[in-house]
Chains A and B, each alone.
Chain A
Amino acid sequence: GEDVEQSLFLSVREGDSSVINCTYTDSSSTYLYWYKQEPGAGLQLLTYIFSNMDMKQDQRLTVLLNKKDKHLSLRIADTQTGDSAIYFCAESIGGYSTLTFGKGTMLLVSP
């Protein structure tokens, strides 16, 4: 995960917006993904963005991509306690199919 960096922890109140940030180093990244992992569970694909896009919205989720700064963010509107989980940013590069993950950001939503 050294090519993809995330802050480790974010705490918000229920109803607030959460913004989880990610930076990556490889400019040839093709797709960038956000996965959610609840305790002891698998990886759930939340959303993804193609590298030629700068924004994608899907219900409460908004992904922003700043390709110049190699910065990706995930905004969760009206955060709920059920959103508490670890969020992984991941990139796939060029002609390769493998995913490189960040270390994950633990989101804690308090009532």
Chain B
Amino acid sequence: AAGVIQSPRHLIKEKRETATLKCYPIPRHDTVYWYQQGPGQDPQFLISFYEKMQSDKGSIPDRFSAQQFSDYHSELNMSSLELGDSALYFCASSLGIQETQYFGPGTRLLVL
């Protein structure tokens, strides 16, 4: 069965650079979620979208923005990167809000 696809899988950036992470949900899924997992930490919710509209917002820094496109894929844009942004970024998708979330493999971001 098709799963959530995230790209790139690994990314190395320097401080103050920008990064764009992409997420392709499971076909027919209309809701995407972004989570950030720091080293040794639990995943923390950042933001979610349902039918291309922001549905919920968590601890997403102002330096980050995200959107969901007409084909339901989502992009997380990160600017003015800081060392503390180094983490594993997960995207999850579901068929509708409050439905079971299926996670992608994550993008590992390292900020030097």
Stretch at the interface among B62-70, B75-83, B103-111: B103-111
- The verdict on B8 contacting chain A, using a C-beta distance below 8 Å, is no
Most buried by B among A44, A88, A92, A98: A98
Most buried by B among A30, A41, A42, A100: A42
B33 lies within 8 A of A42 (CB)? no
- The verdict on B19 contacting chain A, using a C-beta distance below 8 Å, is no
Residues of A within 8 A of B58 (CB): 98
The residue that B90 contacts in the complex, of A42, A97, A102, A103, with Cβ under 8 A, is: A42
The residue that B33 contacts in the complex, of A88, A95, A98, A103, with Cβ under 8 A, is: A98
* Chain B, interface SS category: strand
Most buried by A among B31, B50, B102: B102
Count residues of chain A with CB under 8 A from any CB of chain B: 24
* Minimum CB–CB distance for A92 against chain B, Å: 7
Residues of B within 8 A of A30 (CB): 98
Give B94's nearest chain A residue, CB to CB: A97
- The verdict on B27 contacting chain A, using a C-beta distance below 8 Å, is no
Residues of B within 8 A of A45 (CB): 100-103
Residues of B within 8 A of A41 (CB): 105-106
A97 lies within 8 A of B33 (CB)? yes
B33 lies within 8 A of A104 (CB)? no
B43 lies within 8 A of A43 (CB)? yes
Residues of B within 8 A of A101 (CB): 42-44
Taken together as a complex, chains A and B put the C-alpha atoms of A81 and B41 apart, in Å, by 23
**Chain A 34-60 near chain B by CB (<8 Å), digits 1 or 0:** 010000111111001000000000000
A42 lies within 8 A of B106 (CB)? yes
* A–B pairs, 26, beta carbons within 8 Å: A31-B98, A31-B100, A41-B106, A42-B90, A42-B103, A42-B104, A42-B106, A43-B92, A44-B103, A45-B100, A45-B102, A45-B103, A92-B98, A96-B56, A97-B48, A97-B50, A97-B56, A97-B98, A98-B33, A98-B48, A98-B58, A99-B101, A100-B45, A101-B43, A101-B44, A103-B42
